Chains A and B, each alone.
Chain A
Amino acid sequence: MAIKFSTTFLLRKLHQVTGIVPLGMFYFVHIYTNVTAMNGPKVFNDHVQDIHDIPFLLFIEVFGIFLPLAYHSIYGVLISGEAKVNVLSYPYARNWFYLFQRITGGFLFFFLLFHLLNFRFGLIPGLNMTPVAGHAQEAFSIVSTEFQKGWIVVVYILGVLATAWHLGYGFFLFVVDWGFVISEKAQKLTIKAALVLALLLGLVGVNAVFAFVRPCGLLPQSLCESSHVKRTPTAPARF
């Protein structure tokens, strides 16, 4: 018998995949770059420079990040609109998690819009007006200047925590929605793993926020000193 996919079915599957494959993968790269700020402006700026040196960067940015992000967030908001929240009548942990996934998603919709305009494009009047894109060597100072404002730091900490939850629990949702994890026992294990991942992403992310305010972030500075490795400038390659 011929297989018939409905539009809703395909859109849901695409929503589940875009959350993990382009966006989840990208977030790991993103958080890695942020964490390098623990070792100071030079290391961070060099890592930002490395990203600028990726071939086909604009293509990757548009098709690997912007389009999946736009799709995932807009369709996600539509999905959230379907929810008939009933956590007060049915106060079970996974029902709360269902609600958290939608709350963090809704918050991230606005946060990411702000974050992109604030740093990637530098287009919010009154705040930073220098896009990080194209100004790799100013990246650290752009962020640390912005983080002099307390409310900006609060907004970014909330953004990092919301992302940690949304991506961590999103991994659980992905593996059950695609039928990788089935039994109750396997679900429990996966949820634990997802929550541990969320916790780690949250801790590492929050520390990375503080790395732009204070060397090594919230950790003792002695942890970061030993890893200060100066890059030796390499001679331009000859062809």
Chain B
Amino acid sequence: MSTNEHIHKQKLTDPPKTVKFKIQRREKEGADSHWETFEVAYRRNMNVISALMEIRKNPVTTDGKETTPPVWDMSCLEQVCGICTMVINGRVRQSCSALIDDLLVATGGNTVTLQPMTKFPNVRDLKVDRTRMFEHLKQVNAWIDLDGSYDLGPGPHISSEVAHERYVYSRCMTCGCCLEACPQYSENQYIGPQAIAQARLFNMHPVGKTEMDERLNGLMEENGIANCGNAQNCLQVCPMSIPLPRAIYETNRDITVNSLFGWLKR
């Protein structure tokens, strides 16, 4: 399964001289946001990050106003860390893999709109604080307890089918795309697909399975899995092509069998 289906690598046959970047800016958390537009000379193979770096060199808006350099997060620059996620032309994605040619071919114009993700606290400009995703992982015990004072021996055998399915879930980079696109997600209302898929990853592990009840309990809290509305935007926007609805529905089955009807076998 490819993880770059959303990158089309289209080429503009007649590229514009300059590209405009309309950026939603905010001084600090809680401050009012405003828009600023910058113009950058077009270059072949430009992506959103390289354009932002150009803007940073000379932060002057199209109105000629000198301003502060826009702030954003970046690290790996190859779409495996997830930190540079932002809303580009209205759709959430990683800015490092958002190619300018692709974006302009899709819109037919020469303007690219950049906004921070809306479902997280906005630290400044395009930078957000995604701490709550890690709180969600804690809520569902997304790990395997393996502490012992002596050698526990080799782990249990895992069939290649299970290993393959787990590998897909393990690619999650906590980028936040699924939460941003989810119409049900907001703070304290719904835990979101990311944590559910990670709970599934560890519930599928033969050792992790022994703590499944704890994970299911975490998922049955007020903000838990039952808040899913099945709009399945998460499946469409996940840059790692993780089958998030499948993880949710597998977990729904675990909850039905173990939690709702578990008393029938006790």
Evaluate contact between B252 and A187: CB separation under 8 angstroms. Answer: no
Q: CB of A113 within 8 A of chain B? A: no
Q: CB of A234 within 8 A of chain B? A: no
| Contact segment of B18-26, B154-162, B232-240 | B232-240
Evaluate contact between A9 and B220: CB separation under 8 angstroms. Answer: yes
Evaluate contact between B230 and A98: CB separation under 8 angstroms. Answer: yes
Looking at chain A's contact residues, the main secondary structure is loop
Q: Mark B250-266, 1 if CB is under 8 A from A, else 0.
A: 11111111111010000
Evaluate contact between B229 and A86: CB separation under 8 angstroms. Answer: no
Q: Which of B91, B186, B226, B236 contacts A13 (CB 8 A)?
A: B226
Evaluate contact between A6 and B231: CB separation under 8 angstroms. Answer: no
Evaluate contact between B245 and A187: CB separation under 8 angstroms. Answer: yes
Please indicate the chain A residues that have their CB under 8 angstroms from the CB of B208 in the complex: none
Evaluate contact between A7 and B253: CB separation under 8 angstroms. Answer: no
Evaluate contact between A183 and B246: CB separation under 8 angstroms. Answer: yes
- Find the residue from A8, A9, A98, A183 having the highest chain B CB count within 10 A: A9
Q: CB of B206 within 8 A of chain A? A: no
Name the CB-closest residue of B to A87: B183
Name the CB-closest residue of B to A88: B90
Q: Which of B183, B217, B256 contacts A86 (CB 8 A)?
A: B183
A-B contact pairs, 26 of them (CB 8 A): A1-B213, A3-B220, A3-B259, A3-B262, A5-B220, A5-B259, A6-B221, A6-B222, A6-B224, A7-B222, A8-B221, A9-B220, A13-B226, A88-B90, A92-B232, A94-B231, A94-B232, A176-B230, A176-B245, A177-B226, A178-B253, A179-B252, A179-B257, A181-B249, A182-B249, A183-B246
Evaluate contact between A176 and B183: CB separation under 8 angstroms. Answer: no
Evaluate contact between B231 and A98: CB separation under 8 angstroms. Answer: yes
Evaluate contact between A98 and B217: CB separation under 8 angstroms. Answer: no
A interface residues (Cβ-Cβ under 8 A, vs B):
1, 3-9, 12-13, 79, 82-86, 88-90, 92, 94-95, 97-98, 172-173, 176-184, 187
Q: State the CA gap A226–B256 with chains docked (Å).
A: 48
Q: Which of B186, B222, B233 contacts A95 (CB 8 A)?
A: B233
Evaluate contact between B217 and A3: CB separation under 8 angstroms. Answer: yes
Q: CB of B214 within 8 A of chain A? A: yes
Q: State the CA gap A113–B237 with chains docked (Å).
A: 39
Evaluate contact between A84 and B257: CB separation under 8 angstroms. Answer: no
Q: State the CA gap A9–B255 with chains docked (Å).
A: 11
Evaluate contact between A98 and B183: CB separation under 8 angstroms. Answer: yes
Evaluate contact between B256 and A92: CB separation under 8 angstroms. Answer: no
List 15 extra interface pairs beyond A4-B220, A8-B224, CB under 8 A. Answer: A3-B217, A3-B259, A5-B259, A6-B224, A8-B221, A8-B227, A12-B226, A12-B227, A82-B184, A82-B186, A86-B233, A90-B236, A98-B183, A177-B230, A179-B250
Interface residue count for B (Cβ, 8 Å)? 44
Please indicate the chain A residues that have their CB under 8 angstroms from the CB of B121 in the complex: none
Given contacts A1-B213, A90-B91, whether A177 and B246 have CB atoms under 8 Å apart is: no
Q: Which of B90, B213, B246, B260 contacts A184 (CB 8 A)?
A: B246
Evaluate contact between B232 and A95: CB separation under 8 angstroms. Answer: yes
Evaluate contact between A13 and B183: CB separation under 8 angstroms. Answer: no
Q: CB of B59 within 8 A of chain A? A: no
Q: State the CA gap A16–B183 with chains docked (Å).
A: 19
Q: CB of B228 within 8 A of chain A? A: yes
Q: CB of B243 within 8 A of chain A? A: yes
Evaluate contact between A89 and B249: CB separation under 8 angstroms. Answer: no
Please indicate the chain B residues that have their CB under 8 angstroms from the CB of A184 in the complex: 243, 245-246
Given contacts A84-B183, A92-B232, whether A182 and B220 have CB atoms under 8 Å apart is: no
Evaluate contact between B229 and A179: CB separation under 8 angstroms. Answer: no
Please indicate the chain B residues that have their CB under 8 angstroms from the CB of A1 in the complex: 213-214, 217
Q: CB of B181 within 8 A of chain A? A: yes
Name the CB-closest residue of A to B216: A3
Please indicate the chain B residues that have their CB under 8 angstroms from the CB of A178 in the complex: 252-253, 256
Name the CB-closest residue of B to A8: B222
Q: CB of B189 within 8 A of chain A? A: yes
Q: State the CA gap A134–B181 with chains docked (Å).
A: 51
Q: Which of B227, B236, B249 contacts A179 (CB 8 A)?
A: B249
Evaluate contact between B226 and A9: CB separation under 8 angstroms. Answer: yes
- Find the residue from A88, A92, A172 having the highest chain B CB count within 10 A: A92
A71: shortest Cβ distance to chain B, in Å? 15
Please indicate the chain B residues that have their CB under 8 angstroms from the CB of A9 in the complex: 220-222, 224, 226
